[in-house]
Amino acid sequence: MQKDEHTKADEKRGLRIKRLKKAIISVFLVLLIVPTILSIIALVQIHHLNQQLKSTNQALQLVTSKLNDLYREMEMQEESASEESVSVSTEANYDEAEETVVMSNVNEGMVRVCLTFDDGPSANTDAILDVLDYYGVQATFFVNGKPGMEEVYQRIVAEGHTLAMHSYSHDYSDVYGDMDSFIDDLDEIQSYLYEVTGVECNYYRFPGGSSNTVSQVEMERCIRYLEACGITYFDWNVDSGDATSGGLTVNEIVDRVVSPIAAGGSDTYVVLLHDTADKVTTVEALSVIIEEIMDMENTMIVPINEYVTPVQHVTVAE
């Protein structure tokens, strides 16, 4: 009888301990699971917000570039209106002047980054255009004459990039043999691009840059000739190094482009990149370059246009 009572008491105690254990495990699980779930929800929300921020940023850049286009159009209309010498009242003139000031201030204080691709088109151009299209940014293509690639030139223009000249042949002995051959080559690339795309190109990059040491012609003469033709030439102030013999890794290219821009000191960065079939790392680096630049404050990626201050290694006194 006594033994029975002992057993009952033991059973009861065993049950209490079991319940207690269950309660402790439940509390422990709740303490573990709830914060985990909350963290996951927070992470998802952060990711979502990040995406939204990125697309807002892109939309903003798009709007700015659209405003630029609009302003350019307005300016062209104003120019043609003034050429027709229409008499306008003083009040209207005042309004126009004020409007012009407002529009030209749209990008004041912004750092402009121009991504420029030399030596194309190539087997990589479509891939480069796909990346640019994905991020909704425009670049500049300093191209050579490559019959058979008409559709690529046309795609460059259709997607809003700046089509610019980099000589027809890119053959130093041919382009820089003498002044006549420089002029012939320039005519050839300009008329070829006009024929293929309907665009009259007004931007030029010298093969090897304006400070090249291979030209048989004095570079000053070439520069003056371009000026007389109303063509603006661009060198670069950021070199991706992608033309380095032996090639650079994706990370090296990204670093060479992003570091000088992040360091600041200029309001215009013209980045030298290459569009040739063997420069695969350039294509791979491009999306990282664009994302890092997009993340910088007050910095926008723009194609070369009349609002971009030319970056030139050699300038000729007026």
Which residue's Cβ lies closest to Zn ion? 118
- Minimum CB distance to Zn ion smaller for 206 or for 269: 206
Q: How far is the CB of 214 from Zn ion (least distance, A)?
A: 12
Residue 76 has φ and ψ, to the nearest 5°, of -65, -40
- DSSP annotation of 291 reads H
- Minimum CB distance to Zn ion smaller for 61 or for 119: 119
Stretch that binds Zn ion, among 94-102, 111-119, 173-181, 297-305 (CB under 5 A): 111-119
User: What DSSP line would sit under 159-210, residue for residue?
Assistant: TTPEEEE--SS--HHHHTSSHHHHHHHHHHHHHHHHHHHS----EE--TT-T
# residues contacting Zn ion (CB under 5 A):
3
Rg of the chain in Å (alpha carbons): 31
x-marked contacts with Zn ion along 136-155 as a string, rule CB under 5 A: --------------------
User: What DSSP line would sit under 179-191, residue for residue?
Assistant: HHHHHHHHHHHHH
In the chain, alpha helices (H): 2-83, 90-104, 125-135, 150-158, 172-175, 179-197, 219-228, 250-263, 280-294
Distance CA 270, CA 261 (A): 10
- Minimum CB distance to Zn ion smaller for 61 or for 207: 207
Strand-strand pairing, 111-120 and 203-204: unpaired
Q: How far is the CB of 314 from Zn ion (least distance, A)?
A: 16
- Minimum CB distance to Zn ion smaller for 256 or for 279: 279
- Minimum CB distance to Zn ion smaller for 118 or for 235: 118
Could you give the 3-state DSSP secondary structure of residue 288? helix
**What separation in angstroms does the CA of 40 have from each of 27, 29, 46, 212?**
20, 16, 10, 57
Q: How far is the CB of 221 from Zn ion (least distance, A)?
A: 20
- Minimum CB distance to Zn ion smaller for 118 or for 185: 118
Q: How far is the CB of 154 from Zn ion (least distance, A)?
A: 22
118 in contact with Zn ion (CB under 5 A): yes
- Minimum CB distance to Zn ion smaller for 61 or for 190: 190
235 in contact with Zn ion (CB under 5 A): no
Q: Which residue has the tokens 């371009």?
A: 226
Distance CA 305, CA 313 (A): 19
Distance CA 152, CA 121 (A): 7
Stretch that binds Zn ion, among 13-21, 122-130, 200-208, 295-303 (CB under 5 A): 200-208
Q: How far is the CB of 291 from Zn ion (least distance, A)?
A: 26
- DSSP annotation of 275 reads -
Q: How far is the CB of 117 from Zn ion (least distance, A)?
A: 10
x-marked contacts with Zn ion along 207-226 as a string, rule CB under 5 A: x-------------------
- Minimum CB distance to Zn ion smaller for 164 or for 290: 164
255 in contact with Zn ion (CB under 5 A): no
- Minimum CB distance to Zn ion smaller for 119 or for 255: 119
Stretch that binds Zn ion, among 64-72, 119-127, 186-194, 284-292 (CB under 5 A): 119-127
Query: Is residue 217 exposed (0-12), middle (13-18) or buried (19+ Cβ within 10 Å)?
Result: middle
Structure token digits, residue 272: 């030298």
Q: How far is the CB of 186 from Zn ion (least distance, A)?
A: 15
- DSSP annotation of 229 reads T
Q: Which of 212, 242, 256, 102 is nearest to 220 (CA)?
A: 212
Candidate list 71, 115, 119, 120; residue touching Zn ion; CB under 5 A? 119
Footprint of Zn ion (CB under 5 A): 118-119, 207
